[in-house]
Structure 1
């Protein structure tokens, strides 16, 4: 059999004028494709769980370290920030040096940081280690996507599509696991549980994931990444510092931090306009289409995503609900989202983008408003569970539409747009958590203060609705 005939047999008769594909070069891995998918899925699952698992442990961490909630909240926000920074860099590096190598390095970093988090002795150390953990967790997605893309041939779209089901499942399982560890043992278990799973993951990946290929790519825009990181980090630090009761608005530390953030924002925009291959293309930051969607994603991230990390804290602070039960409230939200998301995706071609976004925002706002009020006729737990499920239904309606709304503006830059969307949403969530924990730390009644914040989030989503009418609405054209 000739080489061409062999290649055709391997990939279902498809050949490429540019030469063999990664799958052609590695025919022996095809029987192991399901195992490869399972291995990378374990990594993504661990990363997604760690986005929510800490939420139920915040009161326990705060108590053990005698830390204010505004500083212990950094264990959530720094993880989101680390992932925002790590994802684009890991994508570039995995193209240059190989997906398997980056995947294994990410696993080692994630597991080592998880082990260290489990033995942290103060809140400052834990926050730094969470940042390191986020670098490993953030690098999983681009390297895993590349591995699947390289080795699944014509089935890569289906395999990559299945990734979208992993993160909602992580959102369901994470809070429950976190609550269980806090109730039965210690918050340290939420980090230490990653270690044995991670060791098995590294062994399996070393044995069964092939080396793959490397590609020449444009130079990584490290300056752009660092400027964006400085912008978010300095703004977040200033807001958190304000959370101490003795700190006033004219504090030099607070004003200095926000001044650094403004300068970093100006330098970042200028850099994006002039650099040949910027971290974020400048044309994706402005205009009626992209500018509007970026603002919507920022507000959506603050109101819909940011509040999720705060629900268990609210349940424990205001109603005295146990950590385990508080964690299951996020499960109710995830279930509500999963129940309607598939239907919303199927209906998009008929509904367009605007209608599901508007209806979804209204439903999420309704759930937030319900959560902020005093329970009527139900136990506090059932009241919060119903409210959380309603917000999940609203997110299931609006998320698919908002995910796709800006894609048709530049179909040739889908990857960049997806990264930009995630960055604005995560940035909104980071700001929401930072501001909320700061207000809660200065409040005499944290539960009531958080209730008012949830009501403000609901108002924020309602105020975002007029922006939706500026989004180009395409029906039946994609």
Structure 2
């Protein structure tokens, strides 16, 4: 399917794209869903110390309220990409909105950290289904302008990054951490009504069955590796602990069976050709590393500010806001310039700036207040993210334009996998460290090194310029 042969906004057939006024309305509605999911990636970070205190949960287990959300998205994004092709984008988007809203309501009334983790996993199913279905809806209705419309998704997540930490800090300081979930309920109800009335329907495009066997294997892989790392963070647990070794051994076995299954299955939920080669294989590795450095530890920046510099929760949450502001300042320009710059140059400059921001956060403040120094450092890292994300979002899409939903899901899966690894390792280190703040500082430095180490891979990224 070429960019001009996009489905009609009324019938799902390959005629013309939706008219401009209709496109704006469609974009606004799907952006609302993405905004909700984006807010919940950062809003919990500000409230994490309060959740830990009220529910009497150790830090390595309270951190699961963040990692389980990422895990749910990892599993759901590729599945949602497939089922949105199979059953229609609008249906999947609506189900995502209902699940996300209902789970948010339940999270607001959780009585212990383990129940909260389970409910966050359910919430992540809805949150993870938003991006692939929204990507498909926009791609179906925006015609030749779809690359710029999809690039503008880059701005939605930073806006959520601005609202999330502030809202989390406000709710925690003046009411309760439970408000960070309950606020989703009225927004979700409005979204459901608007989506029912205004989102265009699309015809099914893929009649193959969903590969739940592959989903289960990937779930076992991520879950067992997370459990092992979390258990390692409990007390004086040794690397030779039978529980830790059993969990990691199960993860290795799951990797072997997952790869074998993906190669042999006629319609795997992650097509094997989208995971290897100079194009997809390199971009998947880049997204994994980016997710670890930018998304994973970024979610714990407020905790770092509180542990190392004893900054209050409301102020600590605004550090993520500073990062989001930095992203927004350059993301729109990066999107507009993408056809001229190609993909490699913005990724190169963006990764270097992101690494510089991480190094600055690691370093001691040079004669200014820690809060101001961390704010500046977070803003710098946000600028790097704003340059990088539009290019990484579109680099894989150009390799297979007819599989935008599946590729969007795969991209999100690798980024969230990196975030899971990052958060799991960081919280385990914190739990075992006598100086949590200093331990997190060294982790920041390690992630800066990781971003620099990724740079040679950019030479293998297919570079697209001009009109797509």
TM-score by length of 2: 0.89
Partner of 1:65: 55
SS across alignment from 1:67: coil
Partner of 2:188: 198
Report the Cα offset of residue 432 of structure 1.
Answer: 0.4
The higher relative CO (CA closer than 8 Å, separation ≥ 6) is in 2
Once the two structures are superposed, residues 183-232 of structure 1 have per-residue CA deviations (whole angstroms, 9 ceiling, x without a partner) of: 11111110011122223333444455566544452221221222112111
Partner of 1:420: 410
| 1:293 equivalent in alignment to 2:293 | no
Partner of 1:81: 71
Partner of 1:388: 378
- Asked if structure 1 preserves the Cα contact closer than 8 Å seen for 2:72 and 2:121, the reply is yes
Report the Cα offset of residue 133 of structure 1.
Answer: 0.4
SS across alignment from 1:196: helix
Partner of 2:369: 379
Q: 1:341–1:143: structure 2 CA closer, same or farther, 3 Å change rule? A: closer
| 1:258 equivalent in alignment to 2:242 | no
Counterpart Cα distance in 2 of 1:169 and 1:180: 17
Superposed, 1:329-344 pairs within 5 Å as 329-344=319-334
Partner of 1:9: none
| 1:429 equivalent in alignment to 2:419 | yes
Counterpart Cα distance in 2 of 1:16 and 1:450: 47
Counterpart Cα distance in 2 of 1:118 and 1:203: 22
SS across alignment from 1:218: coil
Report the Cα offset of residue 413 of structure 1.
Answer: 4.3
Report the Cα offset of residue 369 of structure 1.
Answer: 1.0
Unpaired segments ≥5 residues, structure 2: none
Once the two structures are superposed, residues 143-195 of structure 1 have per-residue CA deviations (whole angstroms, 9 ceiling, x without a partner) of: 34455566677877766554443222111111111111011111111001112
SS across alignment from 2:460: coil
- Asked if structure 1 preserves the Cα contact closer than 8 Å seen for 2:334 and 2:387, the reply is yes
Q: 1:165–1:395: structure 2 CA closer, same or farther, 3 Å change rule? A: closer
Partner of 2:459: 469
Counterpart Cα distance in 1 of 2:465 and 2:104: 46
Partner of 1:316: 306
Q: 1:456–1:283: structure 2 CA closer, same or farther, 3 Å change rule? A: same
Partner of 2:126: 136
Report the Cα offset of residue 286 of structure 1.
Answer: 2.5
Partner of 2:109: 119
| 1:170 equivalent in alignment to 2:160 | yes
Counterpart Cα distance in 1 of 2:380 and 2:135: 32
Unpaired segments ≥5 residues, structure 1: 1-13
Query: Rg bigger for which structure?
Result: 1
Once the two structures are superposed, residues 376-412 of structure 1 have per-residue CA deviations (whole angstroms, 9 ceiling, x without a partner) of: 1211111000000111112222333333444444455
Counterpart Cα distance in 1 of 2:397 and 2:85: 23
Once the two structures are superposed, residues 243-286 of structure 1 have per-residue CA deviations (whole angstroms, 9 ceiling, x without a partner) of: 10131111111111111111111111111111122222223323
Report the Cα offset of residue 321 of structure 1.
Answer: 1.2
State the superposition RMSD in angstroms.
3.1
Superposed, 1:222-241 pairs within 5 Å as 222-241=212-231
Once the two structures are superposed, residues 320-346 of structure 1 have per-residue CA deviations (whole angstroms, 9 ceiling, x without a partner) of: 112111111111111112222233334
Q: 1:446–1:266: structure 2 CA closer, same or farther, 3 Å change rule? A: same
Partner of 1:325: 315
Q: 1:61–1:297: structure 2 CA closer, same or farther, 3 Å change rule? A: same
Q: 1:404–1:210: structure 2 CA closer, same or farther, 3 Å change rule? A: closer
Once the two structures are superposed, residues 61-118 of structure 1 have per-residue CA deviations (whole angstroms, 9 ceiling, x without a partner) of: 1111111111111111111111121223233334444444433332222122111111
TM-score by length of 1: 0.87
Superposed, 1:452-463 pairs within 5 Å as 452-463=442-453
Find the partner of 1:93 among 73, 83, 86. Answer: 83
When structure 1 is superposed on structure 2, of 246-255 and 438-447 the one drifting more is 246-255
SS across alignment from 2:236: coil
Counterpart Cα distance in 2 of 1:24 and 1:284: 25
Q: 1:98–1:472: structure 2 CA closer, same or farther, 3 Å change rule? A: closer
- Asked if structure 2 preserves the Cα contact closer than 8 Å seen for 1:23 and 1:151, the reply is no
Find the partner of 1:106 among 96, 113, 116. Answer: 96
Superposed, 1:12-31 pairs within 5 Å as 21-22=11-12
Q: 1:88–1:181: structure 2 CA closer, same or farther, 3 Å change rule? A: same
